[in-house]
Chain A
Amino acid sequence: MSALARHPDSVPPQPVPVVSLRALSKSFGAVQALSGARLDLYAGEAHALVGENGAGKSTLIKILAGLYRPDAGSIELDGEPVRFSDTAAAMAAGIAVIYQEPALFGDLTVAENLFIGRQPKGRFGFIDRAAMNRRAAALFARLGVPMDPDRPAKGLSIADQQLVEIAKAISLDARVLVMDEPTAALSGVEVERLFGVVRALRDGDSGSDADAGGAAVLFISHRFNEVEALCQRVTVMRDGAHVSTDLLADVGVEELVRRMVGRDLGAMFPKQEVEPGEVVLDVEGLTRTGVCRDVGFQVRAGEIVALAGLVGAGRSEVVQAVFGVEDRDAGTVRVGGRELPSGDPRAAIRAGVALVPEDRRQQGLLLDLSVLRNATLPGRGRLSRFGFLIGGAERREAAEWGARLNAKYGRLTDAAGTLSGGNQQKIVLAKWLATNPKVLIVDEPTRGIDVGTKAEVHRLLSALAADGVAVLMVSSELLEVLGMADRVLVMREGRIAGELSRAEATEESVMRLATGQEAAA
């Protein structure tokens, strides 16, 4: 992480911005997503855009990308007003966007995903697949990522999908590169490599035929250490409007956070000290061929144990095998002394285990169903008589948990897909907390949610532990791991590489175990 801590060189802004967004307004029905937002991007700068979820950042970049048309306001490119009728027009103007949620074509190969619509052509206008695969391989080599360009995109992990999106955006040799939380699923090493490539694009020494002046980079992230590592200027948005734009060196993180939420926040990691009780979750020799091998650990009541490691180290796979959504090939999982059968999540739920999965849109929520149905899904047994759900009991329970977690939704009957990311995550949490779990497994609990909600989730996890719940947390965010965990288990290549107590765990010690460089250090 040392490169992340390095302070970026300051590049003086040039007179005419590459992109200038002026007084943009946009509403969806009754919701005013943007009201007078503005932003100037200069060639050769990396510009951070920060704000809570729902502040309008995503709407802003979707307008820049040609996906939405603004109700009012204008976009200027090199000082000339432009109108993007669709994404193709924005791309043609040199704007490349990496979206928060990867959207790949599962049936096509990785290389085709990179070059769709602009594949290299050979004789008779045929697609030159060999050339396409070579160019894709060169891109991945530049990103330092091992990836077979000729494999189908189906089955890639979220991190790998994100890397494909990044490679795609970089291959456009864009004048403006927009990144909406590109690092959410990436590990520290991958983030560093990405930043290396982005810095090269920004400074115009990418080695390709990019403009000599370098690209303008717009970077959206909830991770301030990344913002500091990459960006020179920072714009804060709140409630769809521009709050401030400063040189990053002139404002502290505390101040930025205060501007984002418009109020002071409690500590980000409100960890309560709890005396651990009995061993609740006991995992021994857990093995799943090709994924993890001989993983063993214990979690006591009142304890928060973090599973750290690089993306692909097998952390999510371990918790999935513990919960039983994946079979295990060997090993035992005991909850409160009783062994759980392999591959049977229903038995795990009965034994008091809850799993809040990594990918809430795919695995955590039924996006088309109502908030109510989502929140009460695992509790259907308790909430029904003779197999019929009791509407009143269902509504009471959903409303109660919604209120306890401070989730913001219109009505209980609204589709879960209409909520913001942070509120979706709260509904997933509500759904599992309603089962009164003894063991709560959370996989990337704060991925892609805003600072305010993050702190609430942390406070909640801490309170649950204080109530005697055993919490097992998978997280790629080191600060979260260090701030929340009583013990840190670091995984590397499917095995547990080491265990660190709260006192021993630092960014360095965790990364050393995660990358396997303890001997070299």
Chain B
Amino acid sequence: MSAVGVKARTGSTALDLVLRFRALGLLVALTALVAVTTAVNPRFLGGQSVRDVLFAAAITVLLACGMTVVVLTRGIDLSVGSVLGLSAYVTASVLAESGMPTGPAMVLGLAVGAACGALNGVIVHFGKVPPLVATLGTLYVLRGVVYFLAGGSRINASDLPRAFLDFGNGRLLGVPYLFAVAVLVLVLVGVYLGRYRSGRDLYALGSNPEAARLAGLPAGRRLMTAYVLSGSLAGLGGVLYAARFGTVDASAGFGMELNVVAAVVVGGVAIFGGSGTVLGAALGALLLTVINNALPVLRIDQFWQQAIIGALILAAIALDRLVSIRAARALRQKGSHVD
């Protein structure tokens, strides 16, 4: 070690590329899937089909951004499906019944989500309840609240203002507004996580909570930020859901949390915290959506969809293991000083 001077950063190797740009692998998988499906049916790349995918992916991408932030801190937010349902129902019902203008109603939906996120954060941080259990609890409680509010009723598109529905189904240069919103959120959250001190703190917290305490990082504030962000994005997801579908009943967003967790894991966010990017998570969400839409085209039975997603999750984790083993070996040889 003594002979080596202070090393400048070494050039990127293929392994560095895989490590740093996990997203590349997902892009390759996505491209391959689209290519195969298009070869079977060229209409898969047609405008309508692509729009369907983007509409379907938008809300998952949005929620995956929030989930990533929470998972980075070694947490998980299982309540996002219920939060989405609650926000969608509240937004739609104030629009339909109280005649609240569209803008404030959308803000209200977002605020409902933020409040639910704050509740999660309080239970996790101040109650010291493991996130899995805390958000499993709020998953049921919040869904119960939606059932209480909605009863057996549903809100129909005909009750909602035209402008609201136009926003949910409109497009700008062929891109659905919904997807544009998701991309905007993705960029903002990505910049926050990568470039701001408080964003890096989230990685630190997930990487080594004890060290974070020794370093004097404000764990409570950061955890609250993460859960409120996840809740707010689920709330925003609820608003977009109502705008997109127009019909909202008590089951909106039911079971969605597992899709979101799957997207995040496939996207390379470490489930034990500390590493991963929102870009990866978003690509994971996109990949799962494309699989969903490609299977009918490929004439593969829908029953297989679940199995394929499961296999993808396992493959993603296997890849993580492989990469970390390879990385350990590479570090050993890089750090070596034996000729």
Q: A107–B203 contact, CB under 8 A?
A: yes
CB distance from A305 to the nearest CB of B (A): 22
Shortest C-beta distance, A140 to chain B (Å), equals 6
Complex alpha-carbon distance, A108 and B216, angstroms: 16
Complex CA distance for A119 and B208, rounded to whole angstroms: 18
Q: Does B207 contact A (CB under 8 A)?
A: yes
Q: Is A146 in contact with B200, judged by CB distance below 8 angstroms?
A: no
Q: Does A312 contact B (CB under 8 A)?
A: yes
The reply on B153 being an interface residue by CB < 8 A is no
Cβ B204 vs Cβ A99 within 8 A: no
Interface string of A295-323 (1 = CB under 8 A from B): 00000000000000011101000000000
CA distance A137 to B274 in the complex (A): 24
CB-based contact B2/A155 at 8 Å: no
Which single member of A103, A104, A106, A117 contacts B201 (CB below 8 Å)? Answer: A117
**Contact status of A293 and B338, CB under 8 A, knowing A105-B208, A107-B203:** yes
What residues of chain B lie closer than 8 Å to A151, measured between beta carbons?
331
Binds A, one of B5-13, B158-166, B311-319: B5-13
Question: B200 to A112, Cβ gap below 8 A?
Answer: yes
Does chain B have a CB within 8 A of A147?
A: yes
Closest to A190 in B: B1
Contact of A127 among B1, B196, B214 (CB under 8 A): B196
CB pair B332–A290 under 8 Å, yes or no, is yes
> Which A residues lie within 8 Å of B336 (CB)?
289-291, 494
* Chain A residues, Cβ within 8 Å of B9: 133, 148, 150
Judge if A1 is at the interface, Cβ distance under 8 Å. no
Chain A residue at smallest Cβ distance from B338:
A494
Contact yes or no, B204 A116, CB < 8 A = yes
B residues in contact with A126, CB < 8 Å: 195-196
Partner of A155, one of B213, B218, B331: B331
Residue of B nearest to A147 (CB): B6
> Are B201 and A146 closer than 8 Å at their CB atoms?
no
For B337, the chain A residues whose CB sits under 8 A away are 312, 493-494
Contact with A along B323-339 (1 / 0, CB 8 A): 00001100111011110
Contact indicator B200/A116 (Cβ below 8 Å): yes
Contact: B5 with A105, CB < 8 Å? no
Residues in A neighbouring B204, C-beta threshold 8 A: 105, 108, 112, 116-117
Q: Which of B212-268 contact A (CB under 8 A)?
A: 212-218
B333 touches A88 (CB 8 A): no
Interface assignment of B197: CB less than 8 Å from any CB of chain A: yes
Contacts of A148 in B (CB 8 A): 6-10
Q: Are the CB atoms of A108 and B338 closer together than 8 Å?
A: no
Bound-state CA distance A494–B333 (Å) is 13
Set of chain A residues within 8 Å of B52, measured between Cβ atoms: none
Across the interface, do A127 and B332 meet the contact criterion of CB distance under 8 Å? no
In the complex the two chains form, is A127's CB within 8 Å of B203's CB? no
Residue ID in chain A nearest B198 by CB atoms: A117
Nearest neighbor of A97 in chain B, beta-carbon distance: B214
Determine if B211 is an interface residue (Cβ-Cβ < 8 Å): yes
Query: A87-126: which residues lie under 8 A (CB-CB) from chain B?
Result: 87-91, 97, 99, 103-108, 112, 116-119, 121, 124-126
Chain A residues near B207 (CB-CB < 8 A): 105-108
A243 interface residue per 8 A CB criterion = no
B4 at the interface (CB under 8 A from A): yes
Kindly list chain A residues whose C-beta atoms are within 8 Å of the C-beta of B338: 290-293, 314, 493-495
Task: Output the least CB separation between B100 and chain A (Å).
Answer: 35
Chain A residues contacting B5 (CB-CB under 8 Å) are: 146
Give the residue name and chain of the A residue nearest to B211 (CB).
A103
A67, B211: Cβ atoms closer than 8 Å: no
In the bound complex, residues from chain A placing their C-beta under 8 Å from that of B6 are: 137, 140-141, 146-148
B292 within 8 A of A: no
B79 nearest CB across to chain A (Å):
26
Q: Does A189 contact B (CB under 8 A)?
A: yes
Q: Which residues of A contact B208 (CB under 8 A)?
A: 103-106
Given contacts A155-B328, A312-B337, A314-B338, contact A108 B203 (CB under 8 A): yes
Residue from A65, A97, A103, A140 having most chain B Cβ neighbours under 10 A: A103
List the B residue with the shortest CB-CB distance to A87.
B216
Question: Nearest residue in A to B6 (C-beta to C-beta)?
Answer: A146
**CB contact under 8 A between A88 and B216, given known A116-B201, A289-B333, A290-B336:** yes
Known: A91-B216, A119-B200, A312-B1. A107 touches B275 (CB 8 A): yes
Given contacts A67-B214, A155-B327, whether A146 and B274 have CB atoms under 8 Å apart is no
- Write 23 A-B pairs (CB below 8 A) sorted by A numbering: A65-B214, A67-B213, A99-B214, A103-B210, A103-B211, A105-B203, A105-B211, A105-B274, A106-B208, A107-B206, A112-B204, A118-B197, A124-B195, A126-B195, A146-B7, A147-B7, A148-B7, A148-B8, A290-B333, A290-B335, A290-B338, A311-B1, A493-B338
